[in-house]
């Protein structure tokens, strides 16, 4: 809410600025005409004019003549047009527009660009060649043209400089284009998965090889993706292979963009060649950094329309958010270092300029944001991380704004602000549509609680959706993602207690006799979109573990053929999900890891009837010897088999896929990180030896 208010004020301020007619320099591919104009500006310097400046603009002493005194305007425009390699009408127009904008900015005159066009046409009538002027030290009364041959070198220098500036913009567009390409490819893949095309293709040798080596695997064989890597205080999340491959291409692009096509060939420059290089590198990287900000913001948003188009999970987008952020930070660093070297000796003096000081501040903020967003902070202080991250990001944007307010390239910032604003706006709309509703919290198992809240009529529910849950109270803005399931007319979330808000709510719940009425808000529904894709497969293999159970159970309820494997701690945990369990129509294999007992099969109903009379733990001690014996109980409900101990997922998945008579199997899993990585690795290794069409839907997300 707070963030929203800040953002709406900022965006309103921006919009106000734009419409109040305040000058916002636009520099995206807008430098054409500038090289000619500024070269000729040097040329006109040779002449004197019988003219008194109006003195209303910041630099009118110098600019008023070439902006408002016909002979001077004529001279600079004739020179610019003559100098330009491009002789087309369109290019002339660009020159006139350059004149218009620079005059508007620096001089006392604020004409339309057509004025300069008319002035040029008039000037050609009165043109007086340079060699006909008797004494060039005397004031000019008719337009002429400076010696163009002597300006040629400077012109080349300016062209190089402007080319380099524009290259920063084009390379930024290139990065956006790269992501657009990825998005198009993913959109096609996603479309295939949503129709049954993927199912048919996945059986081919080529597709299986892609799955084995590119799409499914963790970065390194048998590696980690859902689990963190490293040590307690120095950890990180690794990308999976497909993400890494896209990162490598991005790396290539960035390095190429840093290195290629600088138009500096020893031509004229304001200073020494070193100075020229520093400026060229600095300008390009600075603009490239700006060009990444909209992507950065877009990828971090919850309401990113690309989620639907690409079928990527939110955590995938956050991966790209991090990668783009790192590149932006490197761009910023290079930009700042190059400018620092460039301004050695004047650094303290320059710091008095707002734009320079803000640039320094933005660079520092960028570094701080990067540091505070490291994995250990997110792991241990997620809530603090988030608040600080958002506040610093806003400060960063503001610093960028003041850094470039007079320089240009603000379109990127405006785009970023709009994207951010609309994400927040949709979040607000979602939240206000839901409102604060009274929820019932109950304890359903050790360290597991259930939140039940009446479903609003508009809520579109599909299995595996999640929402961000807000609890009314002191820190009402704190929100956490939880899988949301539908039970009758209620939305429910099963919450495993961790250290933060879940712990506080748990304590309140316990203190209140295991039942609590509380106002909550569900911001959602957000979806990974896995469910409809899974249903394209003939058979489903669903694997659940830990707090991943609710989503998988709902998916299982939708499946008509297949099997569900559920690794839970104890029968008590399984029973906590009774309403969901009863809706499942496929076979369920339950593995209880923290309980001993004899394996058995029963119906779902027996599971709950039996619970009152028997104590599985005590029963087990007597029957330990024949743990393989299946106790069969009759019933007309779905069959459940219960086994004790940790399952061998290798064999289980392998055999389940191999034994099935179906031609295509969709595997969906959600569970603790270790389990997710195991499953991923098993599927990766065996996908080519399974002679059926297989797809894997990873419902687990971490960021
Ligand atoms: C898509 C999705 C669905 C989920 N569904 C369920 C579910 O159905 N049941 C369930 O018990 N848990 C679920 N979780 C996990 C749940 O979000 C975290 O357990 C919860 O946020 C922890 O809150 P806490 O304040 O107690 O965390 P803390 O104890 O402060 O932190 C525990 C860990 O959770 C992570 N975390 C904390 N806050 C957030 C947040 N706002 N966003 C993302 N990660 C965070 C941090 O990495 C941290 O290391 C889901 C997570 C995701 C991403
Ligand atoms: C045309 O150019 C001449 C010479 O520069 C100048 O005296 C005259 O005022 C110009 N006419 C217009 C309409 O600006
Ligand atoms: C040109 O004009 C200046 C005065 O403006 C004068 O000093 C100079 O002698 C003149 N040169 C010639 C060649 O007439
Ligand atoms: C223009 O300048 C070049 C060298 O700078 C010189 O060779 C040439 O004679 C000059 N032309 C005129 C018309 O002054
Ligand atoms: C069930 O067994 C556990 C130990 O395994 C024991 O602590 C508990 O009291 C038993 N419950 C009942 C109802 O017998
Ligand atoms: C459950 O098991 C019984 C006995 O093995 C079998 O007859 C019945 O068809 C099974 N039901 C389902 C739904 O699989
Ligand atoms: C997996 O199944 C294949 C047959 O489909 C078999 O060759 C392989 O040995 C199995 N691996 C394990 C670990 O069961
Ligand atoms: C794989 O399936 C075939 C036939 O369905 C069966 O004969 C074979 O034993 C299975 N292999 C494994 C390892 O389960
Ligand atoms: C797979 O089939 C083999 C024999 O064909 C059997 O031994 C095994 O239990 C089956 N596995 C599963 C998970 O159904
Ligand atoms: C299939 O998976 C099992 C378990 O991970 C592994 O032992 C086996 O080697 C795999 N098969 C192939 C062909 O890689």
Residue 562 DSSP SS3: strand
Which helix (H) or strand (E) segment holds residue 531: the answer is helix 530-534
Closest residue CA from atom 8 of ligand 6 = 639
Q: Render pLDDT for 201-237 as a digit per residue (tens, 0 to 9).
A: 999 999 999 999 999 999 999 999 999 998 888 999 9
> What is the spatial distance between Cα 267 and Cα 164, in angstroms, rounded to a whole number?
13
Query: Pocket of ligand 3, candidates 137, 140, 141: which has the most ligand atoms within 8 Å of its Cβ, to mutate?
Result: 137
Which CATH architecture best describes the domain 435-526? Beta Barrel (2.40)
Between 12 and 323, name the one with better pLDDT: 323
- Whole-number average pLDDT of the chain: 88
Q: Give the DSSP per-residue string, 479-547.
A: EEEEEEEEETTEEEEEEE--SSHHHHHHHHHHHTTTEEEEEEEEEEEE---HHHHHTTSSEEEEEEEGG
Ligand 10 site residues, Cβ closer than 6 angstroms = 650, 654, 682, 685-686, 689
Q: Are strands 479-487 and 466-471 parallel, antiparallel or unpaired?
A: antiparallel
Q: How much is the pTM?
A: 0.87
Is residue 256 a contact partner of residue 175, using CB atoms and an 8 Å limit? no
Which CATH architecture best describes the domain 530-698? 3-Layer(aba) Sandwich (3.40)
As beta bridge partners, residue 490 has 454, 487
Is residue 591 a contact partner of residue 671, using CB atoms and an 8 Å limit? no
pLDDT at 20 over 90: no
CA of 557 to the centre of ligand 2 (A): 84
Would you call 4 exposed, middle or buried from its count of C-beta atoms within 10 A (0-12, 13-18, 19+)?
A: middle
CA of 534 to the centre of ligand 1 (A): 25
Asked if domains 435-526 and 530-698 share a fold, the reply is: no
> What is the spatial distance between Cα 581 and Cα 604, in angstroms, rounded to a whole number?
7
Q: Render pLDDT for 375-402 as a digit per residue (tens, 0 to 9).
A: 999 999 999 999 999 999 999 999 999 9
Q: Render pLDDT for 515-550 as a digit per residue (tens, 0 to 9).
A: 999 999 999 899 988 888 999 999 999 999 989 999
CA of 37 to the centre of ligand 5 (A): 90
> What is the spatial distance between Cα 632 and Cα 642, in angstroms, rounded to a whole number?
11
Q: Render pLDDT for 254-288 as a digit per residue (tens, 0 to 9).
A: 999 999 878 876 667 777 888 888 988 999 999 99
Q: Render pLDDT for 434-491 as a digit per residue (tens, 0 to 9).
A: 999 999 999 998 999 999 999 999 999 999 999 999 999 878 889 999 999 999 899 9
pLDDT at 624 over 80: no
Tokens describing residue 646:
């940790």
Q: What are phi and psi of 523, to 5 degrees?
A: -95, 110
Query: Pocket of ligand 8, candidates 655, 657, 658, 665: which has the most ligand atoms within 8 Å of its Cβ, to mutate?
Result: 658
Please state the separation of Cα 13 from the chain's center in Å.
25
Query: Pocket of ligand 6, candidates 583, 607, 639: which has the most ligand atoms within 8 Å of its Cβ, to mutate?
Result: 639
C-alpha distances out from residue 530 to 233, 308, 551, 666, Å? 34, 11, 11, 10
What are the residue ranges spanned by the domains of the chain?
47-145, 156-178+239-426, 435-526, 530-698
How many of the other CB atoms lie within 10 Å of CB of 286? Answer: 24
């Amino acid at each position: 809410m707070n963030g929203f208010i800040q953002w709406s004020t900022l965006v309103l301020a921006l919009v106000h600025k734009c419409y109040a007619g305040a000058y916002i320099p636009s520099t995206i591919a807008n430098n054409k005409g500038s090289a000619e104009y500024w070269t000729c500006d040097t040329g006109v310097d040779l002449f004197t004019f019988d003219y008194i400046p109006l003195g209303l603009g910041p630099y009118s002493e110098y600019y008023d003549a070439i902006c408002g005194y016909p002979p001077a305007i004529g001279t600079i425009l004739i020179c610019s047009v003559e100098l330009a390699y491009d002789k087309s009408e369109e290019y002339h127009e660009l020159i006139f527009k350059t004149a218009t904008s620079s005059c508007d900015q620096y001089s006392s005159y604020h004409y339309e660009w057509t004025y300069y066009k008319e002035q040029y046409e008039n000037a050609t009538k009165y043109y007086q060649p340079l060699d006909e002027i008797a004494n060039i030290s005397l004031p000019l009364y008719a337009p002429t043209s400076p010696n163009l041959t002597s300006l040629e070198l400077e012109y080349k220098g300016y062209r190089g400089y402007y080319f380099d500036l524009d290259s920063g913009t084009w390379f930024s567009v290139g990065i956006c284009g790269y992501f657009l390409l990825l998005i198009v490819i993913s959109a096609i893949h996603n479309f295939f998965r949503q129709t049954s095309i993927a199912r048919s293709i996945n059986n081919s040798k080529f597709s299986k090889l892609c799955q084995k080596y590119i799409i499914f695997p963790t970065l390194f064989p048998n590696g980690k993706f859902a689990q963190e890597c490293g040590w307690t205080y120095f950890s990180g999340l690794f990308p999976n292979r497909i993400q890494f491959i896209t990162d490598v291409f991005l790396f290539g692009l960035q390095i190429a963009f840093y290195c290629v096509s600088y138009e500096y060939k020893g031509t004229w420059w304001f200073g020494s060649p070193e100075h020229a290089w520093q400026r060229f590198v600095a300008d390009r990287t600075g603009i490239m950094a700006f060009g990444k900000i909209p992507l950065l913001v877009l990828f971090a948003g919850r309401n990113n329309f690309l989620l639907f188009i690409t079928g990527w999970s939110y955590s995938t987008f956050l991966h790209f958010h991090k990668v783009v952020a790192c590149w932006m930070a490197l761009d910023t660093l290079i930009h700042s270092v190059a400018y620092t070297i460039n301004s050695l000796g004047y650094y303290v003096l320059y710091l008095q300029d707002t734009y320079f000081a803000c640039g320094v501040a933005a660079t520092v903020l960028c570094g701080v944001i990067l540091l505070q967003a490291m994995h250990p902070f997110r792991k241990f202080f997620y809530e603090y991380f988030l608040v600080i991250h958002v506040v610093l990001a806003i400060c960063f944007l503001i610093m960028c704004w003041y850094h470039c307010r007079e320089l240009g390239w603000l379109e990127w910032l405006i785009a970023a602000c709009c994207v951010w604003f609309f994400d927040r706006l949709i979040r607000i709309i979602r939240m206000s549509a839901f409102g604060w509703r009274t929820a019932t919290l109950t304890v359903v198992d050790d360290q597991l609680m259930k939140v039940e809240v009446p479903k609003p009529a508009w809520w579109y529910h599909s299995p595996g959706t999640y929402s961000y849950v807000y609890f009314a109270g002191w820190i009402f803005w704190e929100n956490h993602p939880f899988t949301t399931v539908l039970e009758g007319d209620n939305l429910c979330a099963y919450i495993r207690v961790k250290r933060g808000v879940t712990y506080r709510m748990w304590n309140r719940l316990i203190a209140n006799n295991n039942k609590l009425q509380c106002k909550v808000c569900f911001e959602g529904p957000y979806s990974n979109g896995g469910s409809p894709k899974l249903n394209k497969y003939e058979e489903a293999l669903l694997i659940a573990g830990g707090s991943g159970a609710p989503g998988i159970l709902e998916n299982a309820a939708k499946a008509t053929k297949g099997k569900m494997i559920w690794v839970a701690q104890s029968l008590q945990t399984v029973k906590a999900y009774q309403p969901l369990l009863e809706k499942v129509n496929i076979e369920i294999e339950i593995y209880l890891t923290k309980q001993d007992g004899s394996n058995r099969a029963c119906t779902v109903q027996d599971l709950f009837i039996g619970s009152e009379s028997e104590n599985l733990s005590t029963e087990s001690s007597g029957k330990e010897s024949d743990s393989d014996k299946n106790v069969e109980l009759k019933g007309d409900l779905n069959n459940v088999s219960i086994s004790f101990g940790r399952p061998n997922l290798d064999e289980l998945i392998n055999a389940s896929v191999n034994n099935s008579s179906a031609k295509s199997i969709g595997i969906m899993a959600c569970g603790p990180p270790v389990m997710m990585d195991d499953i991923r690795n098993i599927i990766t290794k065996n996908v080519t030896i399974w002679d059926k069409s297989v797809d894997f839907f990873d419902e687990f997300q971490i960021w």
